[in-house]
Amino acid sequence: MYARLLIGFFVGIGDNVILINKKYQNAALRGALFGLITSIVISFYGGGEFFIISGIIYGIITDLISTRLS
């Protein structure tokens, strides 16, 4: 739960971060990056590889949905 909260926070404050010019591809890449960073930090407390992969997927989904609704 803590990881999902952090990913949502980073997606919310990182709305203006532009990595590539296409709107939805940028959202997917940005979400994957936020999910990766958050999951790596939290995986030190246990969870490992599965937790990192899940964080990346959750980051992409969260950022795409928030981009679509904004």
- Tens digits of per-residue pLDDT, 43-68? 877 767 778 888 889 989 999 999 89
Helix ranges (DSSP H) in the chain: 2-13, 23-43, 48-69
* Structural domain count, the chain: 1
Task: Please count the residues of the chain.
Answer: 70
pLDDT confidence of 24, banded at 50, 70, 90? Answer: very high
User: Which structural domain range is residue 36 located in?
Assistant: 2-69
pLDDT value at position 47? 66
Residue 28 clears pLDDT 90, i.e. is over it: yes
Q: What is the rounded distance in angstroms from the CA atom of residue 58 to the CA atom of residue 31? A: 8
- pLDDT of 33 reads 92
Q: How far apart (Å, rounded) are the C-alpha atoms in residues 19 and 6?
A: 20
| Helices 48-69, 23-43: inter-axial angle, 10-degree rounding | 150
Of 54, 69, 70, 67, whose CA–CA distance to 25 is shortest?
A: 67
What's the whole-number average pLDDT of the chain? 85
Is residue 2's pLDDT more than 80? Answer: no
